[in-house]
Amino acid sequence: MVKLRLTRMGAKKKPFYRIVAADSRVQRDGRCIEQLGYYDPMKDPFILKVDLDRVDHWIGVGAQPTETVARLIKRAREAASETAES
């Protein structure tokens, strides 16, 4: 099964995450199928960039997002709709 999940990058005590599509059997920081975006919680305000078209593609073919990634995707959609309204 393909999961949309976070992969930890960055130095010790300075996390940076990539949002990736990966096989659920592969370890957290292992091989991924595709990188879909990134999340940097250390910046103020945090930085979140997600390719929503590719996320929709993966969800359409049966990929399951983790709880955290689902929350981040929801925030990215809200931010995209706010910029579209402006």
pLDDT, position 32: 92
Domain count, the chain: 1
pLDDT, position 84: 81
Instruction: Provide the residue-wise pLDDT of the chain in tens; the chain has 86 residues.
Output: 999 999 999 999 999 999 999 999 999 888 999 999 999 999 999 999 999 999 999 999 999 999 999 999 999 999 999 888 86
Tokens 């099964």 label which residue?
1
pLDDT, position 72: 97
Task: Please name which of 41, 34, 33 lies closest in space to residue 9, comparing C-alpha atoms.
Answer: 41
> Domain holding 80: CATH number?
3.30.1320.10
Distance CA 4, CA 11 (A): 23
* Range(s) of the domain holding residue 70: 2-85
pLDDT, position 86: 67
Distance CA 47, CA 38 (A): 8
Write out the two tokens for 37: 């975006």
